[in-house]
Every structure is written in C-alpha cells, then in structure tokens.
Amino acid sequence: MSTRSPRGDTARDAVLSGHGISLSLNGTTILNDVDIEVRAGEVLSLVGPNGAGKSTLLAVLAGDHAPERGEVRLYDQPLSAHSARALARERGMLLQKQNLAFGFRVHEVVEMGRAPWHRTDRAAYDETVVEASMKRADVTHLRDRHFPTLSGGEQARTAFARLLAQETSILMLDEPTAALDIHHQEQVLEVAREAADSGSAVVVVLHDLSLAAAHSDRVCVLAQGQVRATGTPREVLTPELLSDVYRHPVQVLEHEGHLVVVPQRRRRKEEL
C-alpha cells in the first residue's frame, strides 16, 4: 500500500498508472502512447481541448476500456487481474452524465455506493458513512427526493455523495463541476482536496483551467490523444502551451496567489 506522503513531496507512490496506452475507436486514434501516474496524496487534473481523450483516458484507467497497446497497473498489478468487486473497493468513479433507470430516492442512490462493502466488516458503518457522505456533498436536505426529479447539479452532487460513500482510496472524477454553480464547484473540489490530503489519490477531468490551477498538485495536458505536458500548475499552465493546445490565444494571470487562465477576447466595439 501507499505511504502517506505530505503535500509537496515530489516522490509520491503511483497507485494507478498507465504505460504506453493507445486506443482507437472506429478507426480514429483516441489515445496515442500515453503515460500517466496517479499518486496517493495528490490531486491530478486532466485538461485539454474537446476530443483530446481525457474522458477516454479516465475510462481506460477505470478499466472500462481495455487499451489496444500499453498497460494499466493498480498497485503493481495489471488492472485486468482484479475482479469488478475488488476494483470497486480501490477506485470510485464519478461519470460525466448521471443515469438512473428507476425513481430511487437520493439516500438510496448514495447507499448504492456501499455495495462493494456488502458482507464485509465495513458494512457495519454503512449508515454512518452514507449520512456523512450526503453531508459532504451537500445533499442531506434532498435525501427523500426522487433522483430523476432533481436538477442536473443536484444529481451530480448525489452521484458525488455515492462516490464518497464507496470509500475508495482512488477517486476518479469526470468533469465533476460541469453542472455545478460556483459554490458547489468549489465545494466538490475542496472535498477532493481533503481526500487527497488524507492519503487518497484523486484524478479529475476539468475544463476550467483556473479551477485546475487552484485545486491540483499536478496537471496533465492532453491534446489529440497525447500528453503534451505533466507537472505542477505553474510548470504546465503557460500561455505558450495553452495557446498552442487550445488554438486560441490564452493569458495566464496571477490573482491572490492563484493562477487565473483567461482567453484573449476581442474588445467589444463600444469599449474601443
């Protein structure tokens, strides 16, 4: 298992890693020779333009897609050596889109996150963990509502609570902030940060580069299925790289100790 390294340590353990990952779907190359390490105790952001392969990479790391070439390893073992249930005790995933076939209530959905621990000693804490997870994701007040009647943001937070209830040491979040307001965006990433600080490994796909800069230890920039750069936000989020990757002039500003990434915009006529 991983050691609990303090934040800022450069040599952290990789709990989940992809080596030389390549994948094409229907003849289109989605990922091309990608190397990536997800480390205990840190938040790793995957950023990049639409179609860069971020979500696919996350799916490969989660074991949803088998890569054509390369290998995913979980704690020094190939991912494929783990059963679905064993994997579910190690990594949890928050998908971009939430589906639910039937009208379960919010607390029932969150309880589903406890499934990997069914018939283990940890099942004794089911109720406690579910309540605490709902609180952390700010859905306690929705607990008896039917999931399909919730707004997109409330559904996303419910799914996040389900992920927290799963109590895995690896958290994978695919655009967790897409449907959320500013308050809940910050809250979700704060919780992810806390999880990392207490030893979890967090990998998160983000579109908002300022959010990525503020909340991650490392950022991995993907473009056209390849890793363009990996490193701390300050190392990676440079105007040159981002302008090139996004094919749009981008400025990186400093605001109260954080990086703020903004696109350069043409001024409106009335301001001229």
Partner 1 sequence: MSAATADPTTKPERAGRAVRGGLSRVGLFALLGVLLVVVVLLAAGQGAVHVPPSEVLGSVLHRLGIDVGPMPSHPRGEDALWQVRFPRVVLALLAGAALATAGAVMQGIFGNPLAEPGVVGVSSGAAVAAATVIAFNLSFAGNWTIALAAFVGGLITTLLVYAMSREGGRTEVVTLVLTGIALNAMTSAGLSFLLFMANTQAREEIVFWTLGSMNGARWPQVAVVLPLAVVGVAAAVLMARQLDLLALGDRAARHVGVDVERLRLRAIVVVAVLTAAAVAFCGIIAFVGLVVPHLIRLVVGPGHRVLVPASALLGAVLLVAADLWARTAIVNADLPIGMLTSLVGGPFFFWLIRRARRTAGGWA
Residues engaged in binding partner 1 (CB under 8 A): 59, 62-64, 83-89, 91-93, 95, 99-105, 108-109, 112-113, 115-116, 118, 125, 127-129, 131-133, 135-136, 148, 159, 162, 164, 166-169, 171, 195, 198-200
Element at 37 (helix H, strand E): strand 28-39
Are 244 and 224 within 8 A, CB to CB? no
Q: Which is nearer to partner 1, 86 or 253 (CB)?
A: 86
| Widest Cα–Cα separation across the chain | 68
Q: Which is nearer to partner 1, 7 or 135 (CB)?
A: 135
Smallest distance, Å, CB 259 to partner 1?
A: 27
Smallest distance, Å, CB 54 to partner 1?
A: 16
CA angle (176 as vertex; 69, 73 as ends), nearest 5: 30
217 token code pair: 């230890």
Smallest distance, Å, CB 207 to partner 1?
A: 20
Smallest distance, Å, CB 17 to partner 1?
A: 19
Q: Which is nearer to partner 1, 28 or 128 (CB)?
A: 128
Count of residues making up the chain: 272
Give CA–CA dist 147/247, Å, rounded: 39
Q: Which is nearer to partner 1, 28 or 99 (CB)?
A: 99
Smallest distance, Å, CB 60 to partner 1?
A: 13
* Whole-Å CA distances, 195 to 41, 82, 191: 8, 24, 6
